Amino acid sequence: MKKLLKTKKPSEGKVGLNIKTKPKVFVGLSGGVDSAVSAAILKKDYDVTGVFIKVWSPDFLPCTWREDRLDAMRVAAFLDIPFITLDLEKEYKKEVVDYMIKEYKTGRTPNPDVLCNKEIKFGAFYDFARTQGVDFIATGHYAQKKEHGIQNNEYLYSVCESKDTAKDQSYFLWNIKQEQLKHVLFPIGRMVKSDVRTLAEKLGLPNAVKKDSQGLCFIGKVEMKDFLKHFIAEKKGSVLDSGGNKVGTHDGAVFLTIGQRHGFTIENKKTASVPHYVVSKNIKKNTVTVSALNPSDVAELGKTTCKLSQVNWINEPEIGKQYQIRFRYHQEPLVGTLNLSKKEWHIILPKPFTGISVGQSAVIYDNKEMLGGGVIEK
């Protein structure tokens, strides 16, 4: 991420400061309804500009960015706000796509949505906005920004779960810095999706009934394996049970991640009807071990601790205190503690857990508040 620029603090960040002019905000308009409603909400109290972020797209997938940009332009025109197209194609290709492919080749499982937020939305886009003298950027994320306290006459903030727990995206935001958060807004974080749709229709927004995008961040509807196989060759390998016996086949251990229940074949028709999950993989031998997650398998293959790298704390946790920990998006949180040894953060769980995948994100919660997280290491 580019070095943060030292600029004037926004009116929201200073206690007791009263500014008559409307603060300036750049809203990331993706073409979808969430960002459109975000811009509409902010227009009353802010000087709003819509920004469409153009990113790299592969030539083997249908190109939708022009349609999305057109939808974003229609929203900006409807709201009568300025519109900017920000070309971040090179940044996205290098910092998100190339990094992701490199990680998968080594057997790790990066999270593209986390990378996209870190390097693009709250990286290059954030930096661009600040160089333009803008007070805030805003996105259509389902997350809440709340006041955390006051330090040196300035507010500290926290990121909390969205009101809509089914849509909550706080897991993907753990890389945001405290100094950035002062300049970030999440307008729909206190709404549920159905209310966002209702408001969009009530306002007459041109994309009010547009379907939500699914799939890889920005790129769209594509399975991760289908995307990666254009860059990494498939290689047949064995699926093993917890005893090391071959029970099936797969097309490459690098394409699979811990906790995944699809992407491999179980040969025994009787056992194939029972859901199996990847609990470990060996990249050198190109094998994966699966389990139906019965208690004996969990005890044998699960982990009770893992190290974190690239750690970022929005608000630093307490050593030894129990927190809620997510190792995957929308995973039911586990209770665990944190330990700091020789400047390295470790998660400690009371019971073994099989869903810990190297390269993924471990995100720490104190009830509804997301404190930060890190990248999972062995």
Tokens of 219: 């790129």
What confidence score (pLDDT) does residue 283 get? 94
3-state helix/strand/coil string of 94-110: HHHHHHHHHHHHCCCCC
Nearest one of 184, 101, 159 to 363, comparing CA atoms: 159
pLDDT in tens, 209-228: 888 876 566 566 678 888 99
Q: Say if residue 315 is in the same domain as residue 288.
A: no
CB 179 within 8 A of CB 4: yes
Q: Say if residue 292 is in the same domain as residue 368.
A: no
CB 47 within 8 A of CB 25: yes
Q: How far apart are CA 164 and CA 330, in angstroms?
A: 12
Instruction: Tell me which of 224, 256, 278 is where a domain ends.
Output: 224
By three-state DSSP, how is residue 130 classified?
helix
CATH of the domain at 40: 3.40.50.620
CATH of the domain at 316: 2.40.30.10
Q: Say if residue 157 is in the same domain as residue 175.
A: yes
105 falls within a domain: yes
Give the mean model confidence (pLDDT) for residues 24-49. Answer: 97
pLDDT in tens, 345-369: 999 999 999 889 999 999 999 999 9
93 falls within a domain: yes
Q: Say if residue 322 is in the same domain as residue 252.
A: no
143 falls within a domain: yes
What confidence score (pLDDT) does residue 3 get? 36
Q: How far apart are CA 149 and CA 159, in angstroms?
A: 13
Q: How far is CA 201 from CA 42, 71, 194, 210, 245, in A?
A: 17, 15, 11, 11, 56
Q: Name the β-bridge partners of 51.
A: 28, 84
Active site residues: 116, 217
Tell me the whole-structure pTM to 2 decimals.
0.89
Question: Looking at the 3D structure of the chain, how many domains does it have?
Answer: 3
Q: Say if residue 60 is in the same domain as residue 166.
A: yes
Q: Say if residue 118 is in the same domain as residue 102.
A: yes
Q: Say if residue 130 is in the same domain as residue 173.
A: yes
Instruction: Tell me which of 182, 206, 224 is where a domain ends.
Output: 224
Residue type, 135: D
Q: How far apart are CA 44 and CA 355, in angstroms?
A: 45
Instruction: Tell me which of 200, 224, 248 is where a domain ends.
Output: 224
Residue 191 domain boundaries: 11-224
2 falls within a domain: no
Cβ atoms < 10 Å from Cβ of 252: 21
1 falls within a domain: no
Cβ atoms < 10 Å from Cβ of 66: 10
Q: Say if residue 286 is in the same domain as residue 306.
A: no
By three-state DSSP, how is residue 125 classified?
helix
Q: Say if residue 252 is in the same domain as residue 311.
A: no
Q: Say if residue 172 is in the same domain as residue 43.
A: yes
Residue type, 232: I
336 falls within a domain: yes
Q: How far apart are CA 269 and CA 238, in angstroms?
A: 17
What confidence score (pLDDT) does residue 272 get? 83
CATH of the domain at 242: 2.30.30
Q: Say if residue 119 is in the same domain as residue 84.
A: yes
Q: Say if residue 347 is in the same domain as residue 211.
A: no
For the chain, percent of residues with pLDDT exceeding 70:
91
Backbone angles phi, psi at 43, to 5 degrees: -60, -30
pLDDT surpassing 50 at residue 9: no
153 falls within a domain: yes
92 falls within a domain: yes
Backbone angles phi, psi at 172, to 5 degrees: -85, 0
pLDDT in tens, 307-342: 999 999 999 999 999 999 999 998 999 999 999 998
Q: How far is CA 131 from CA 22, 53, 56, 136, in A?
A: 18, 16, 23, 11
